[in-house]
Amino acid sequence: MNADERRFEVLRAIVADYVSNQEPVGSKALVERHNLGVSSATVRNDMASLEEDGYITQPHTSAGRVPTDKGYRLFVDRLSEVKPLSPAERKAIHSFLEGAYDLDDVLRRSVRLLAQLTRQVAVVQYPTLSRSTVRHIEVLAITPARLMLVLITDTGRVDQRSVDLGDVITEENVARMRTMLNSALVGKRLSDASAEVAELPDRAPAELRDVVLRVSTVLIESLVEHPEERLVLGGTANLTRNVADFPGSLRQVLEALEEQVVVLKLLAAARDPGTVLVHIGEENEAAEMRSTSVVSIGYGSRDNLLGGMGVVGPTRMDYPGTMAAVLAVAGYVGEILTSR
């Protein structure tokens, strides 16, 4: 191998040892633990070059070296492909997620699974409602003057709302309402459906116009985003296992994770279900998150991106393993939700 390739092998070995042991890595240890095929002197020279170029740094005098954000970036960029999980791991993921009975359960399970697989914080974004389509609207009479609306989307989301009519309604008119709503809305994206609902009162028969107006007003509320429900977070306690990975900043990281806007921004770039993105340290926009790395991906299908999911942890992270876990879980979640 040429000098550049050899230096990268040295960097790869430093990353592997530091991630595993959380101790600065010296040249002697590298020669003993890794089959680099060169002398300690050569390794020292390569480490000096890597340090000069900003890929590794010496945390304090008489210590070994640790990777910098730039070093981790080069390491991640040089991963030729995301190593797939073993068949046994894939089977376990599939079995665990396949048992979920609705959207909320799928997302809760996926977060729990990602946190367990990576031992980091896992986060999943709810399917963005504007990308969902209406699968069915059920209209039920709770009392003669009160209806229950049940909106079901293609992503499995179920939203229930009650409507006080101010007057009694017959079973026949309940059935007419059900037919009218489904004819107008089934198969439409929620972003388009809200406009369609707003026009329904003008098209309704005179005897149903007041009822349709009340139903439409309530239904429109179900067709807009629910920001307070958009994220599921799990495994936050994992960050406290190694406080040294967040010198003076763990509290800031935990507080930032509580801010949904911050986390949503971390996932905003994840637009492709086939591509794992990695933002390392200073690459994160939020100042509070610059001691972390974020591994994220979109889930759904290329034609129907539902949302983003990912993992937040220290920059001292098992990047290949974390990227493989995120890719696998996202694949199964997308498959489950798009096939329902």
Contact 147, 139 (CB under 8 A): yes
pLDDT at position 141 = 92
User: 281 falls in which pLDDT band (50, 70, 90)?
Assistant: very high
Res. 131: pLDDT tops 60: yes
Cβ neighbours for 219, distance < 8 A, ≥ 6 positions apart: 137, 149, 151, 161, 181, 197
CA angle 287, 292, 296 (to 5 degrees): 105
- Tens of pLDDT, residue by residue over 49-70, are 999 999 999 987 767 899 999 9
pLDDT at position 152 = 86
- Tens of pLDDT, residue by residue over 208-263, are 889 999 999 888 877 765 554 578 999 999 998 888 888 778 889 998 888 877 88
pLDDT at position 229 = 53
Contact 18, 25 (CB under 8 A): yes
CA distance 156 to 174: 24
Q: Kindly state the helix (H) or strand (E) to which residue 194 belongs, with its residue range.
A: helix 190-203
3-state secondary structure of 336: helix
Res. 317: pLDDT tops 60: yes
3-state secondary structure of 278: strand
Contact 269, 277 (CB under 8 A): yes
Domains of the chain: 3-68 (1.10.10.10), 87-126+230-339 (3.30.450.40), 133-226 (3.30.390.10)
- Tens of pLDDT, residue by residue over 71-84, are 999 999 998 777 77
